[in-house]
Amino acid sequence: MYSIVVESIYLLVIVTLISVLQNAFFALKVEKEGNCQNIPTSTFERVCCANRNCMDAYPTFLAVMWCAGLCLNQAPAAFAGIIYLAVRQKYFVGYMGQTSQSTPGYMFGKRILFFLFLMCIVGIFNYLLVRYCSSEYKEYVETITGAASALLLIP
Amino acid sequence: MYSIVVESIYLLVIVTLISVLQNAFFALKVEKEGNCQNIPTSTFERVCCANRNCMDAYPTFLAVMWCAGLCLNQAPAAFAGIIYLAVRQKYFVGYMGQTSQSTPGYMFGKRILFFLFLMCIVGIFNYLLVRYCSSEYKEYVETITGAASALLLIP
Amino acid sequence: MYSIVVESIYLLVIVTLISVLQNAFFALKVEKEGNCQNIPTSTFERVCCANRNCMDAYPTFLAVMWCAGLCLNQAPAAFAGIIYLAVRQKYFVGYMGQTSQSTPGYMFGKRILFFLFLMCIVGIFNYLLVRYCSSEYKEYVETITGAASALLLIP
């Protein structure tokens, strides 16, 4: 039981651990900015805002990634997760660096979340097909998903 | 392994996907209000506040729903999840529409979360009974839970 | 299938339920402070801030605890989770009681999260060892982890 479970989730766990590290990095930034009182307040507010937007989207991201990994295949889901974390890092840094006139929007990584969302739907649809029609497209679908996840690299 | 796992969670995954869609809807509302600068600020603040309250409760909801679904039975848990999402939608719309004198409270859907919470406790209690007393009430409990979930429809 | 799943997660579910109860306690505090308008605003702001910091870290905590419990062993993970909840309670109460000059930092429970994080890494590393080297250190590691979790009690 043990190794079967770990085998089917270990990539997801690794991505989750990386996201936790990133959360800790964000929290450290917030704490550091909050401590130095001589800097202008707007920097602290910007860091706070960026951290909040990232944290607001975090449970959604985790839920979609784990569902996609459990329902279909963990490798493309973990790959999309890694790319999402890279986008989030870029978003956070971009939020801190710039003036308040041109803050980026509230949402980010929409394309990746949409891809993971699609993976969940395909996985459930495939399960229902297997159950009611006894037809098996899973391997076919997994190959397509693996190939499609490479498209996420296109900026 | 694959289809056993998916079989026991697919309803929960569907509800999670719907909740993700709802999160995206809330985030779009926030982004849209944030962009139009000519509207009074209080609207933006209200949308922001409603979104924040919903997001604060989101991990709690996900955790309780998945625990209830895994420990006892996924059908009543998913049903309660759907009702929770409907209550949340109503809360968000109600928050936006009204004046600041009568904002609804910070919490919502208490009854549904309580029901899911009870399901978890019953599930764990049942497991401990099976383990230590070798008695099996699971099917009996599942029938009661299925029937009790219908009571959530009462406003 | 059912009892195997529940057997390997029931301690984690119990800790999750306790954390949900704690979340409800925090939310009640926020709602109560928001309702009484005659108290000074700073109290409400402090409660709000404490609640927000706790809620920001909540998905991270849940993710790490469940990963650690699934990848290695649920008992030490659940034990660390309980201690984390105690630390969080102390943090929340401490945040409310004091003056604004000496607010505690943004982060708390770093040591416990780090311990859970380490458990995840050890679990995945052990799985990879089993898979590629056919060697089995799991029971050995579990004993060490169980003993190490007692060290978290040291303040």
The ipTM assigned to this model is 0.79
Better-scored residue on pLDDT, C5 or A70: A70
Q: Which of chain C's residues have a Cβ under 8 Å away from the Cβ of B131?
A: 3, 7
Determine the pLDDT at residue A101: 46
**Average pLDDT value for residue range C2-8:** 71
Please determine, for residue C60, whether its predicted confidence score (pLDDT) is greater than 70.
yes
Integer angstrom CA distances of residue A132 from A71, A118, A138, B2: 17, 21, 14, 16
Q: Is A72 on the interface with B (CB under 8 A)?
A: no
Tokens found for residue B137? 């009430």
Q: Is residue B134 left, alpha or beta, with left meaning phi > 0 and alpha meaning psi from -120 to 50?
A: left
Give the nearest partner residue to C55 out of B4, B56, B63, using CB atoms.
Answer: B56
Give the nearest partner residue to A106 out of B3, B7, B30, using CB atoms.
Answer: B30
**Average pLDDT value for residue range B48-76:** 86
Chain pair A-C, CB pairs under 8 angstroms:
67
Q: What is the DSSP string of A35-74?
A: H--SS-HHHHHHHHHHHHHHHHHHHHHHHHHHHHHHHT-H
Q: Is C96 exposed, middle or buried (0-12, 13-18, 19+ CB in 10 A)?
A: middle
- Is C106 in Cβ contact with A6 (below 8 Å)? no
Interface partners of chain C (CB pairs < 8 Å, 3 or more) are A, B
Measured CA to CA, the distance from residue A35 to residue A45 in angstroms comes to 13
Q: What is the DSSP string of B113-126?
A: HHHHHHHHHHHHHH
Percent of chain A with pLDDT over 90: 0
pLDDT in tens, B143-155: 777 777 777 777 6
**Average pLDDT value for residue range A50-55:** 83
Query: How far does C116 lie from chain A, in Å, by closest CA?
Result: 10
pLDDT in tens, A89-118: 888 888 777 655 445 666 677 888 888 888
Distance of CA A70 to the CA centre of its chain: 15
Asked if residues B11 and B75 have their Cβ atoms less than 8 Å apart, the reply is yes
Confidence of residue C99 (pLDDT cuts 50, 70, 90): low
Q: Is B136 on the interface with C (CB under 8 A)?
A: no
Q: If you measure CA to CA, which chain A residue comes closest to C129?
A: A3
Query: What is the average pLDDT value for chain C, to the nearest integer?
Result: 79
Give the nearest partner residue to C20 out of B8, B64, B106, using CB atoms.
Answer: B64
Please determine, for residue B103, whether its predicted confidence score (pLDDT) is greater than 60.
no
- Which of A10, A28, A44, A70 should we substitute to test contact with C (largest number of C Cβ atoms within 10 Å)? A10
Please determine, for residue C65, whether its predicted confidence score (pLDDT) is greater than 60.
yes
Contacts of B155 (CB under 8 A, 6+ apart): none
**Average pLDDT value for residue range B132-139:** 69
List the one residue out of B23, C52, C114 whose CA is nearest residue A30: C52
Q: If you measure CA to CA, which chain C residue comes closest to B5?
A: C1
Q: Is A106 on the interface with C (CB under 8 A)?
A: no
Residue given tokens 């990963």 in the structure block: C67
Query: How far does A15 lie from chain C, in Å, by closest CA?
Result: 11
Q: If you measure CA to CA, which chain B residue comes closest to A117?
A: B17
- Is A28 in Cβ contact with C107 (below 8 Å)? yes
Give the nearest partner residue to C4 out of A1, A17, A55, using CB atoms.
Answer: A1
Q: Is A113 on the interface with B (CB under 8 A)?
A: yes
First to last CA, chain B: 40
Give the nearest partner residue to B13 out of A57, A124, A130, using CB atoms.
Answer: A124
Determine the pLDDT at residue B101: 46
Query: What is the average pLDDT value for chain A, to the nearest integer?
Result: 79
Q: How many CB atoms lie within 10 A of CB C24?
A: 17
**Average pLDDT value for residue range A52-70:** 88
Give the nearest partner residue to B67 out of C1, C13, C34, using CB atoms.
Answer: C13
Confidence of residue C101 (pLDDT cuts 50, 70, 90): very low
Q: Is B69 on the interface with C (CB under 8 A)?
A: no
Determine the pLDDT at residue C56: 85
Report the helix count and the strand count for chain A, using DSSP H and E.
5, 0
Q: If you measure CA to CA, which chain A residue comes closest to B7?
A: A127
Q: Is B153 exposed, middle or buried (0-12, 13-18, 19+ CB in 10 A)?
A: exposed
Q: If you measure CA to CA, which chain C residue comes closest to A24?
A: C107
Query: What is the average pLDDT value for chain B, to the nearest integer?
Result: 79
Determine the pLDDT at residue B137: 67
Catalogue all structural domains in chain B, each as residue range(s) with its CATH number: 1-122 (1.20.120.550)
pLDDT in tens, C21-33: 888 888 888 777 7
Tokens found for residue C7? 């057997």
Query: How far does B56 lie from chain C, in Å, by closest CA?
Result: 6
Measured CA to CA, the distance from residue A53 to residue A43 in angstroms comes to 15
pLDDT in tens, B55-64: 888 999 999 8
Please determine, for residue C120, whether its predicted confidence score (pLDDT) is greater than 80.
yes
Q: If you measure CA to CA, which chain B residue comes closest to A56?
A: B55
Determine the pLDDT at residue B152: 74
Determine the pLDDT at residue B135: 65
Q: What angle do CA B74, B88, B114 make, to 5 degrees?
A: 50
